[in-house]
Amino acid sequence: MNAKSKEFPVLMVTGGNRGIGRAVALAAAAARYRIAFTYRSDQQAAEKTVAAIESLGSEAIAVYADVARQDDVRAAFASAKERFGRLDALVNNAGIIGEPRSIIDVDEQHLDLVFRTNVFGAFYCVAEAVRQMSKQAGGEGGVIVNVSSAAARHGGMPQEAHYASSKGAIDSLTLSLAKELAPMGIRVNAIRPGLIDTAIHSIHGGDEAIRRMAPTVPLGRAGTAQEVADTVLFLLQDKSSYIHGALIDISGGR
């Protein structure tokens, strides 16, 4: 990109090497965002995502980070700032479902893994983003989109109370942040994807599980990562300038 690339906004996507995160990164790159994204596994997929972004004429940096670890998150945001010099938006996408488990089999290790990744990680990432974007800290404001889940309102799959509860926390976090961050020039919203055709459903049986569940969706099919990414991109842009503190379902009516 030429010298004018410095004028293009910078987006951080957590878990950007596959699934919804990758779709968001590519959609934003096509809209002339420069992309920083984190990944916790599959470095090859991360490298392919960087190449795909660059093929769109944008710039990208992939940074290893386990969002459950605050030091990793701080290092990832520092790397993005070093590369691009600014931050304009965050998509808090990284998350896990966790092993299905009955409530009577709950244990500290299981809950710790899910909540540290899905909830603590979101807190850590928002904190770093605000430090860079807040007008009070010398930033220019920005946008945060948290990736929740329709499971937050319907309870999710059987034996996945841990996952649904962690996403309920994301909904509450979004509503709280909308109040706290508005004076800092930062808009905050959340999306709640439903049955989306991505690899996260491998824990339920992959493609077969998606085919089995699709008839339970009023629209009669699973959604795509691209459909989710299109909504996220809308929320990142000025077209949605008066949407703030919203929880937006992308669930086909389910």
pLDDT tens series, the chain, 254 aa: 444 455 899 999 999 999 999 999 999 999 999 999 999 999 999 999 999 999 999 999 999 999 999 999 999 999 999 999 999 999 999 999 999 999 999 999 999 999 999 999 999 999 999 999 999 999 999 999 999 999 999 999 899 999 999 999 999 999 999 999 999 999 999 999 999 998 765 566 668 888 888 999 999 999 999 999 999 999 999 999 999 999 999 999 99
Q: Can you give the CATH number for the domain in which 199 is found? A: 3.40.50.720
Separation between Cα atoms, residue 174 and residue 246, nearest integer Å: 8
Has this prediction a pTM greater than 0.85?
A: yes
Q: What's the total number of domains in the chain?
A: 1
Q: Structural domain of residue 63, as residue ranges?
A: 3-250
Q: Cite the active site residues.
A: 163
Q: C-alpha angle with apex 118: 43 to 40, nearest 5 degrees?
A: 10
Residue type, 24: V
